[in-house]
Structure 1
Amino acid sequence: MAYRIRRKDSKAQASLRRIARDQVQAAIRSIDAAAVDRAEAIHDVRKRIKKIRGLLRLVRPGFEDYRTENAAFRGIAAPLGPQRDAGVRLETFDDVVATSTTRSNDWAPVRQELARQRQAIATAHDPEDLLNETRGTLRDALVRIDTWRLAEDGFDAFGTGLKSSYRRARKAMRAACDKADDDAFHDWRKRTKDHAFHLRLLQPIWPGPMRATQACAAALGEVLGQHHDLAVLAAHVRAMADVPSDAAAALETAIGARQRTLATRAGALGAPLYADPPRALAKSWRRRYIAWQSAD
């Protein structure tokens, strides 16, 4: 079930189908075992779908059905998002409170409202029903996967998508560092997650170095994910009419301080990760791929 290409796959198309099939089947197994922890099953299914969409972006230039399938998997994941996101907002709030040097007793209503929202979403969207519906759409996807076709083979099936995705990530990093706004950092996060997926998928062509680079990309994605969680929390606080303005301002100040720390850390991780020009990166990976394919 490894999320990576294999030399014994007959073609790039075979890798695409196998990897996607493995992720879908693993997601279905999570749903089937969800009686103990439905929240964890939802989390796992969402992660699997993100990995599939990362795979699709790698082969996008040669995959005619990209838009249709990407939209289909996005649609499968969408109903699972609100419940998980409500829990993340509450966890993020607790983390801010625990680590902030400035605290306010007036923040208690914020937590109460976040907890109320989480419970309301759980009540309105029964996790068991959501997972049962998701199982059906995933089984439909399994049938389609066996019909997927790529126009290219070998590294040609991956190289253009790799270069395009990496270029977008570099541009997103520059935009985030220049603008320093939440939307720019969120875009950088999405592009970095794609690059981390691509490093995992192509890791066999140069295992040691690419494993280390992937760890760096994963760490950067985690930092940017925390930055985004804080941005979402801040937006929710601003929308809470019952929170005293002084308390809301103090909480946003604490959130902003955390975000600035995370932005600095992200810059330190991103600089070496995105140091190579896109064309040079693609050429280097192509040479490694050819050497890997010809090895005994």
Structure 2
Amino acid sequence: MGKVASEPPSAGEWLRGRLLLLAEQAEMSVNDLQDHPEEALHQLRVRMKKMEALLRLSRGAMGKKRREKLRAEIKAVKNAGGDQRDAMVLQKLAGELGRKQGLRLPETPLPLEKPRMRQIKTLMTRLQKDLSAQSFEKLSWEDIQENFEASYRTGRRLMREAEETQDPEAFHQWRKRVKVLHHQTGALEEYLPHVQKRLERSRDLGRLLGREQDLALLEEATQTPSPDRAWKRVIKANRDKVRPQALELGEKVYQRPASKFGRMRR
């Protein structure tokens, strides 16, 4: 007798399984913080961002207060090591851009301290407990598609705002939504038609906008105690390259209206 095909998962089962898997992987990153702080911290933050993105697909499965509680717990884990991450990025970027001009930043990032590591472990344990207790059975695939399209439309709108204002904060907000789009698209790849190009382009766009955000951090760091004109010239020269590239690629990522996506395959 042939094998009986297994039933495809319900939308709630699929999303819950994805979130719990990311939580398990994040716990592994937490356990690696002692021996490999830089890489483990990066992986932990990436996994929290993926969880944030997927949680946005859960509208329809739980009340707003419950969803916001889980989101706050995810954000707390992600942000617990944010200052170390920013310091590491600044040192690398300053070394890369300032080498030819003899520019440098005096600050040196500190290693992740043991008390902070204990804090992250405590936050991670609480998140796993609350996530395991959460039911997603009310979620439908129609909810997921609607939530995915809403995220896409928000990113499209934020791209226009960044283009019109040329404000670093506008680019930062757009970047966050590009990351959401990329993580959601990657998770839903087998269910969405014609996504490979969007997946690749959103990845590349996220990297460009990440560079823009790192330049904004560097700009802020070189304003204290007084603006450094040499750094200002270097940052502007790099920003003048990155922003047009990001906007050009953004037009390709967001060229199709969400209404033209077609139905998800199930």
TM-score in terms of structure 2 length: 0.89
Match of 2:156 in 1: 170
Between the aligned partners of 1:72 and 1:32, the Cα distance in structure 2 is 18
Within 2, Cα distance between the matches of 1:152 and 1:167?
24
Runs of 4+, deviation exceeding 6 Å: none
Shift of 1:145: 1.7
Alpha carbons of structure 1 residues 152 and 269: separation in structure 2 relative to 1, 3 Å:
farther
Contact in 2 for aligned 1:46/1:77 (Cα 8 Å): yes
Measure, in 1, the Cα distance between the counterparts of 2:73 and 2:87: 23
Per the alignment, residue 229 of structure 1 pairs with 214
Partner of 1:264: 244
**Equivalent of 1:275 in 255, 262, 266:** 255
User: 1:142 matched to which residue of 2?
Assistant: 128
Distance in 1 separating the partners of 2:246 and 2:61: 32
Cα deviation, residue 31, structure 1: 2.3
Aligned to 2:223: 238
Aligned-pair distance for 1:39? 2.1
Distance in 1 (CA, whole Å) between partners of 2:87 and 2:93 is 10
Q: 1:61 offset after TM fit, Å?
A: 4.6
Residue by residue over 1:170-203, the C-alpha shift from the partner in whole angstroms, topping out at 9 and shown as x without a partner, is 0111111111110111111011011101111110
Q: What residue number does 2:3 align with?
A: none
Q: Is residue 51 of structure 2 the alignment partner of residue 52 of structure 1?
A: yes
Letter in 1 for 2:91: L
- How many angstroms apart in 2 are the aligned matches of 1:45 and 1:184? 25
- Aligned counterpart in structure 1 of residue 232 of structure 2, from 252, 273, 287: 252
Paired AA for residue 241 in structure 2: T
Q: Is the 8 A contact 2:90 2:217 kept in 1?
A: yes
Describe how 1:9-20 pairs up with structure 2 within 5 A.
Answer: 10-20=9-19
- Contact map agreement 2:212 2:243 (CA 8 A) in 1: yes
Q: Confirm or deny that 1:70 pairs with 2:56.
A: no
Question: What secondary structure does 1:146 align onto?
Answer: helix
Find the residue that maps to 1:137 and give its secondary structure: helix
Q: Is the 8 A contact 2:22 2:47 kept in 1?
A: yes
Task: Work out the CA distance in 1 between the residues paired with 2:24 and 2:7.
Answer: 21
- AA matched with 1:27: A
The alignment partner of 1:203 has SS state of coil
1:198 corresponds, among 184, 209, 216, to 184
- What letter matches 2:238 in structure 1? R
Aligned residues: CA RMSD:
2.0
Judging changes above 3 Å, is the alpha-carbon distance between structure 1 residues 157 and 131 closer, same or farther for their aligned structure 2 residues?
Answer: farther
- Please say if residues 76 and 123 of structure 2, whose CA atoms lie closer than 8 Å, have aligned partners that are also in contact: no
Contact 1:12–1:153 (CA<8 Å) still a contact in 2? Answer: yes
State the match for 1:4 in structure 2. none
Could you list the runs of 5+ residues in structure 1 that have no partner in the other structure? 1-6
Task: Tell me the percent identity.
Answer: 23
For each residue in 1:1-42, what CA deviation from the matched residue of structure 2 results, as whole angstroms up to 9, or x when unmatched?
A: xxxxxx955311111211111111111112223442122212
Q: Where do 5+ consecutive residues of structure 2 fail to align?
A: 1-5
Q: 1:61 to 1:251 in 2, by over 3 A?
A: farther
| More helix, by proportion | 1
Match of residue 161, structure 1, among 147, 151, 154 = 147
Are 1:61 and 1:161, in contact at CA under 8 Å, matched by a contact in 2? no
